[in-house]
Chains A and B, each alone.
Chain A
């Protein structure tokens, strides 16, 4: 039982890769939404969509890996903190799927099917519908902000463990070999 003090290397790599991708894609999404019609806007929209679908695919992989490989046990902490941490993790996983899926649907509804990296056309799972497109745009934005808040809570809690509790929690997810 002493082995499970760290996440598996695959889990660690996926965590940091997706952390980077999600923060970057969120930033691009915020920036591009208010741009006037331009080449930059067009490119950013496509990149944002490609990144979103990539996040969706990697999250599916990550979820499978997470289900097949148990995470390390929690360090000692009050029960409410453990519950809150696990609750946030669950909501994060839901958002990993809900945010890209609503973005994908929104793109289809607005009449611009996603062609992943300009090569692979993805199916439309909602019809082209202007009002549905507007609705999905609001839902996508709200969920993305929800995800941002969850990330803040997650990072805040991790930093609290590191700097206040000093329980070495971050080492479980360190890219450095222990």
Chain B
């Protein structure tokens, strides 16, 4: 099934199973959502559980938090991840710190779903990769699936998780397909997946970059280079154990993300691996990400901006001391 279908299925499973699951967002009801993920749900569950809202992100997220405190499991939809900027106060100061501010240890089963990422010619305010911002906010979980299979399993887990979860869906992944089980299943939050095993180089990636890494690995294999690919799945908390075990095997680490190379989450992973496993490294840790500029609009520019398979191959070859000139 497609990534989009997988997301929809996960939501439907939970909505049907658990009457406390509700949807809050803009244009999600009669319109069915701008990506048509929630189409049909208003009819099935009614306006009491599929709530169309005014353009009020503060109220939307705040309502998500409040209702999650008192028995609901809200799945809040923020139309574009870029709008996280509007609701930073609600997420960082309220959602993330609610439990800490309570006398008791409390649940806040809130999911905030967002469409993100570059490549759709939507301009600088609809294309950003902001997952790294939340690396420094204790109390949240940040999840980024790479395909339909991970989308369905991770979203199901996120909805059931008693902590606030930010769930990022790359727009260009919506139409992609892969083998996805029919039944209801979850994938654990905070655990990475080794999607390909290898011996010469570890690539850590997430979101849409995982498939690009896989393409690059095919190219590298032709040159006799065996690449191990780790799909991070969760950015917060991130599975450093899986990464370090892989680095111990391959002695080289390449991190690939669509966020800016400088300031993106790759920096945190690099520092962690350098701190805890430097003796195993046979090359400096390398990050591949976007250049430090806003996402440009014109297709020719945007395509240059987004890291691609060729960049990954070149980066890998450099790390393996292969002349790339």
A and B, one complex?
A: no
Measuring CB to CB, which residues of chain A are less than 8 angstroms from any residue of chain B?
none
